[in-house]
């Protein structure tokens, strides 16, 4: 069978299962975007929680190179990157190393920290980047049920081993909108002499004091803190923060850092400005959390299955893949962009519409969204 025929058959099976996705060109990144026909859509599927991605203040005030032209260890380390890392270190009170993306940070950091003979203990619903980073490390990976501290403690008691051990978890889970028990994770890490690695990608900028995340709100200091710059901060890229030795080791050994062209200087400057705006305009995080709280209450009142949560992510569970796709299509006819989320992003049988309001949505936008749900089902 030729490659084309083999892949065609796979794509047909993927489509039959209701899993085939398509790229959809849009104009704009704010609360209102337009599709290919020019029709306006209220955007409730972005991770731009604070509404900064389209803020003109993130644009460069003067000419900035578009590309760094090399990895940072060659000639790609520019003052734009240094200034961004200085700002991150000041805000998060620990040295930071910037990567090109959150995915690159995870698949670089975990294999640099642990390997064969070591152990990783990972929440079942961790992001794909954490899963892949754990696999690439070649350490023994132990999966514990989502958020189940007792099960994790049992795993640690029986499988801790004699090598290095690291507990890995998202803090705000991107598809369910719930928060990890970080205090308990920190307690277990200390008790079993393990390191604590927390991915704060969806929490930073929105949760915790000055938007410094779930761990800061809980009064815990993870050994490894991963954050992204392309969500609440409106730009792109990611960073890993911790003790000075962590930054230096990752600079030496994280392959996705060493062997990758540096983040665009344009983007680095935009991220630095986004970080400052997010810090200085607390109304943004207050407003997006208020929007999310309202959506949970009103959609539950309409009879929808909306799990508990405290962040900006509001999943509406529908179950079957086809139901989620059909729901998204019905919402689109009512001017709402709400993307269906299906396996493998979420477990089988838990397809959903994942709603993510922005600080720049208005109350009238939310009125239209709730009305669309009322009319479409």
- Specify the pTM: 0.93
Phi and psi at residue 142, in whole multiples of 5°?
-115, 125
Q: What is the pLDDT of residues 276-300, one digit of tens each?
A: 999 999 999 999 999 999 999 999 9
- Residues above pLDDT 90, as percent of the chain: 90
**Strand order, beta sheet including 140-144:** 96-99, 238-241, 224-228, 195-199, 165-170, 119-123, 140-144
pLDDT at 107 over 80: yes
pLDDT at 61 over 80: no
- Residues marked active site are found at 174, 202, 231
What pLDDT does 90 receive? Answer: 97
What pLDDT does 344 receive? Answer: 92
Out of 3.40.50.170, 2.60.40.10, 3.90.1150.10, 3.10.20.600, select the CATH number for domain 20-50+282-376.
3.90.1150.10
Domain boundaries, the chain: 20-50+282-376, 62-280
pLDDT at 36 over 90: no
CA 152 to chain centroid = 23
Q: What is the pLDDT of residues 223-250, one digit of tens each?
A: 999 999 999 999 999 999 999 999 999 9
Q: Does domain 62-280 have CATH number 3.40.640.10?
A: yes
């Amino acid at each position: 069978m030729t490659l084309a025929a083999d892949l065609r058959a796979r794509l047909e099976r993927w489509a039959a299962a209701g899993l085939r996705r398509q790229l959809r060109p849009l104009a704009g990144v704010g609360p209102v975007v337009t599709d290919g026909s020019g029709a306006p859509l209220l955007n409730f599927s972005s991770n731009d929680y604070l509404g900064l991605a389209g803020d003109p203040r993130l644009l460069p005030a003067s000419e900035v190179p578009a590309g760094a032209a090399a990895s940072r260890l060659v000639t790609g380390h520019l003052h734009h990157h240094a200034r961004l890392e200085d700002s991150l270190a000041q805000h998060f009170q620990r040295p930071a190393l910037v990567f090109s993306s959150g995915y690159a940070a995870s698949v670089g950091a975990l294999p640099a920290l642990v390997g064969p003979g070591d152990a990783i203990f990972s929440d079942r619903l961790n992001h794909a980047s954490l899963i892949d980073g754990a696999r690439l490390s070649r350490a023994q990976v132990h999966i514990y049920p989502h958020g189940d501290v007792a099960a994790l403690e049992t795993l640690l008691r029986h499988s801790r081993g004699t090598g290095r051990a690291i507990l890995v978890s998202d803090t705000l889970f991107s598809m369910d909108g719930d928060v990890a028990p970080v205090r308990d994770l920190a307690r277990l890490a200390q008790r079993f002499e393990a390191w604590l690695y927390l991915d704060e990608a969806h929490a930073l900028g929105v949760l915790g004091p000055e938007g410094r995340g779930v761990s800061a709100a809980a009064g815990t200091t993870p050994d490894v803190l991963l954050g992204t710059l392309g969500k609440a901060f409106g730009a792109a890229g990611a960073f890993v923060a911790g003790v000075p030795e962590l930054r230096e080791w990752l600079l030496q050994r994280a392959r996705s850092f060493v062997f990758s062209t540096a983040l665009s200087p344009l983007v680095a400057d935009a991220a630095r400005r986004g970080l400052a705006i997010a810090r200085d305009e607390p109304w943004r995080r207050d407003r997006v959390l208020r929007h999310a709280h309202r959506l949970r209450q009103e959609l539950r009142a309409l009879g929808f299955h909306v799990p508990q949560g405290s962040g900006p992510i509001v999943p509406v569970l529908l179950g079957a893949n086809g139901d989620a796709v059909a729901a998204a299509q019905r919402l689109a006819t009512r001017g709402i962009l709400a993307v269906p989320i299906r396996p493998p992003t979420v477990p089988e049988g838990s397809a959903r519409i994942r709603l993510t309001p922005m600080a720049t949505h208005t109350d009238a936008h939310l009125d239209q969204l709730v009305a669309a749900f009322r009319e479409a089902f």
